[in-house]
Amino acid sequence: MPPEVPSAPRIRDGVRAALPLAPAPFLFGLSFGVLADAAGIGLAAATVMSATTFAGSAQFAVATIFEDGGTVLAAILAAVFLNARYIAIGVSVASIVPGGQPARFFRAQLIVDESWALSGRSGRFEWPILAGAGLLLDVLWIGSTALGSVAGGALEDPDSLGFDAAFA
Protein backbone atom coordinates (compact mmCIF):
# COMPACT_ATOMS: atom_id res chain seq x y z
CA MET A 1 0.00 0.00 0.00
CA PRO A 2 1.48 3.39 -1.01
CA PRO A 3 2.08 5.98 1.70
CA GLU A 4 -0.50 8.69 2.24
CA VAL A 5 0.03 12.32 1.32
CA PRO A 6 0.87 14.01 4.66
CA SER A 7 -1.20 16.60 6.43
CA ALA A 8 -0.21 20.27 6.48
CA PRO A 9 0.58 20.31 10.24
CA ARG A 10 3.12 17.50 9.85
CA ILE A 11 4.72 19.27 6.87
CA ARG A 12 4.99 22.40 9.05
CA ASP A 13 6.89 20.23 11.56
CA GLY A 14 9.44 19.60 8.81
CA VAL A 15 9.68 23.31 8.04
CA ARG A 16 10.22 24.06 11.74
CA ALA A 17 12.85 21.34 12.01
CA ALA A 18 14.78 22.89 9.12
CA LEU A 19 14.58 26.52 10.32
CA PRO A 20 17.89 26.38 12.24
CA LEU A 21 19.56 25.26 9.01
CA ALA A 22 18.00 28.05 6.92
CA PRO A 23 20.96 30.47 6.91
CA ALA A 24 23.26 27.93 5.23
CA PRO A 25 21.28 27.30 2.02
CA PHE A 26 20.44 30.99 1.82
CA LEU A 27 24.09 32.08 2.03
CA PHE A 28 25.39 29.25 -0.18
CA GLY A 29 22.67 29.95 -2.74
CA LEU A 30 23.58 33.62 -2.69
CA SER A 31 27.23 32.71 -3.17
CA PHE A 32 26.38 30.31 -5.99
CA GLY A 33 24.33 33.01 -7.75
CA VAL A 34 27.25 35.43 -7.61
CA LEU A 35 29.69 32.80 -8.88
CA ALA A 36 27.28 31.68 -11.60
CA ASP A 37 27.03 35.25 -12.81
CA ALA A 38 30.82 35.61 -12.79
CA ALA A 39 31.07 32.36 -14.81
CA GLY A 40 28.66 33.75 -17.40
CA ILE A 41 25.84 31.35 -16.53
CA GLY A 42 23.27 34.14 -16.13
CA LEU A 43 20.20 34.67 -13.96
CA ALA A 44 17.74 32.42 -15.79
CA ALA A 45 20.11 29.48 -16.23
CA ALA A 46 21.41 29.68 -12.64
CA THR A 47 17.88 29.83 -11.26
CA VAL A 48 16.67 26.94 -13.42
CA MET A 49 19.75 24.96 -12.42
CA SER A 50 18.98 25.54 -8.75
CA ALA A 51 15.36 24.49 -9.26
CA THR A 52 16.22 21.30 -11.13
CA THR A 53 19.57 20.28 -9.63
CA PHE A 54 19.22 21.60 -6.06
CA ALA A 55 22.67 20.33 -5.11
CA GLY A 56 25.22 22.90 -4.03
CA SER A 57 28.40 20.91 -4.55
CA ALA A 58 27.42 19.95 -8.09
CA GLN A 59 26.35 23.47 -8.96
CA PHE A 60 29.55 25.02 -7.62
CA ALA A 61 31.54 22.48 -9.62
CA VAL A 62 29.65 23.33 -12.80
CA ALA A 63 30.16 27.07 -12.28
CA THR A 64 33.86 26.55 -11.61
CA ILE A 65 34.30 24.35 -14.67
CA PHE A 66 32.57 26.91 -16.89
CA GLU A 67 34.50 29.79 -15.36
CA ASP A 68 37.75 27.94 -16.10
CA GLY A 69 36.71 27.31 -19.71
CA GLY A 70 35.76 23.65 -19.27
CA THR A 71 33.35 21.75 -21.50
CA VAL A 72 29.68 20.99 -20.97
CA LEU A 73 30.55 17.29 -20.80
CA ALA A 74 33.06 17.91 -17.98
CA ALA A 75 30.44 19.95 -16.09
CA ILE A 76 27.77 17.26 -16.50
CA LEU A 77 30.12 14.46 -15.43
CA ALA A 78 31.24 16.41 -12.36
CA ALA A 79 27.62 17.04 -11.36
CA VAL A 80 26.64 13.40 -11.87
CA PHE A 81 29.59 12.07 -9.86
CA LEU A 82 29.06 14.56 -7.04
CA ASN A 83 25.39 13.62 -6.84
CA ALA A 84 25.88 9.85 -6.99
CA ARG A 85 25.13 9.69 -3.24
CA TYR A 86 21.51 10.47 -4.04
CA ILE A 87 21.11 6.98 -5.47
CA ALA A 88 21.55 5.48 -2.01
CA ILE A 89 19.64 8.28 -0.30
CA GLY A 90 16.75 7.89 -2.76
CA VAL A 91 16.61 4.13 -2.28
CA SER A 92 16.53 4.59 1.51
CA VAL A 93 13.41 6.79 1.38
CA ALA A 94 11.67 5.50 -1.76
CA SER A 95 9.04 3.60 0.22
CA ILE A 96 7.84 6.72 2.08
CA VAL A 97 7.35 9.01 -0.92
CA PRO A 98 3.61 9.11 -1.70
CA GLY A 99 1.84 9.16 -5.06
CA GLY A 100 2.20 7.65 -8.49
CA GLN A 101 5.34 7.77 -10.61
CA PRO A 102 4.98 11.36 -11.90
CA ALA A 103 4.24 12.73 -8.42
CA ARG A 104 7.09 10.75 -6.88
CA PHE A 105 9.48 12.06 -9.54
CA PHE A 106 8.72 15.68 -8.61
CA ARG A 107 8.60 15.00 -4.86
CA ALA A 108 12.06 13.43 -5.07
CA GLN A 109 13.39 16.97 -5.72
CA LEU A 110 12.86 17.64 -2.01
CA ILE A 111 15.37 14.97 -1.01
CA VAL A 112 18.64 16.66 -0.10
CA ASP A 113 21.16 15.78 2.59
CA GLU A 114 19.54 17.99 5.22
CA SER A 115 15.92 17.01 4.60
CA TRP A 116 16.93 13.34 4.48
CA ALA A 117 18.80 13.59 7.79
CA LEU A 118 16.00 15.47 9.52
CA SER A 119 13.37 13.02 8.30
CA GLY A 120 15.17 10.08 9.92
CA ARG A 121 15.65 11.55 13.38
CA SER A 122 12.91 9.37 14.91
CA GLY A 123 14.61 6.17 13.81
CA ARG A 124 12.49 5.76 10.70
CA PHE A 125 12.10 8.10 7.76
CA GLU A 126 9.04 10.37 7.86
CA TRP A 127 7.80 11.83 4.58
CA PRO A 128 6.08 14.91 6.10
CA ILE A 129 9.31 15.97 7.81
CA LEU A 130 11.32 15.38 4.64
CA ALA A 131 8.77 17.29 2.55
CA GLY A 132 8.55 20.27 4.89
CA ALA A 133 12.30 20.56 5.33
CA GLY A 134 12.86 20.08 1.60
CA LEU A 135 10.31 22.74 0.69
CA LEU A 136 11.90 25.34 2.95
CA LEU A 137 15.42 24.57 1.80
CA ASP A 138 14.37 24.48 -1.87
CA VAL A 139 12.66 27.88 -1.72
CA LEU A 140 15.66 29.40 0.07
CA TRP A 141 18.15 27.87 -2.38
CA ILE A 142 16.31 28.96 -5.52
CA GLY A 143 15.46 32.43 -4.21
CA SER A 144 18.94 33.16 -2.95
CA THR A 145 20.50 31.88 -6.19
CA ALA A 146 18.40 34.39 -8.13
CA LEU A 147 19.24 37.15 -5.66
CA GLY A 148 22.96 36.30 -5.82
CA SER A 149 22.90 36.24 -9.60
CA VAL A 150 21.33 39.69 -9.71
CA ALA A 151 23.72 41.00 -7.04
CA GLY A 152 26.67 39.40 -8.83
CA GLY A 153 25.90 41.44 -11.90
CA ALA A 154 26.23 44.59 -9.80
CA LEU A 155 29.61 43.60 -8.32
CA GLU A 156 32.75 44.53 -10.19
CA ASP A 157 34.91 41.77 -8.67
CA PRO A 158 33.00 39.11 -6.68
CA ASP A 159 36.27 37.32 -5.87
CA SER A 160 37.41 40.35 -3.86
CA LEU A 161 34.57 39.62 -1.42
CA GLY A 162 35.65 36.02 -0.99
CA PHE A 163 32.85 34.42 -3.02
CA ASP A 164 35.42 32.31 -4.85
CA ALA A 165 36.33 30.58 -1.57
CA ALA A 166 32.97 30.70 0.23
CA PHE A 167 31.92 27.17 -0.63
CA ALA A 168 35.30 25.53 -0.12
What pLDDT score was predicted for residue 56? 87
What pLDDT score was predicted for residue 163? 56
Chain segment 75-93, per-residue pLDDT in tens: 999 999 999 999 999 999 9
Separation of alpha carbons 94 and 122, rounded Å: 17
To the nearest whole percent, how much of the chain has pLDDT over 90? 72
What pLDDT score was predicted for residue 50? 94
What pLDDT score was predicted for residue 2? 53
22 pLDDT tier (thresholds 50, 70, 90): very high
The residue among 22 and 6 whose pLDDT is bigger is 22
User: What are the C-alpha distances in Å from 126 to residues 62, 111, 118, 145?
Assistant: 32, 12, 9, 28
Chain segment 24-62, per-residue pLDDT in tens: 999 999 999 999 998 899 999 999 999 998 888 999 999
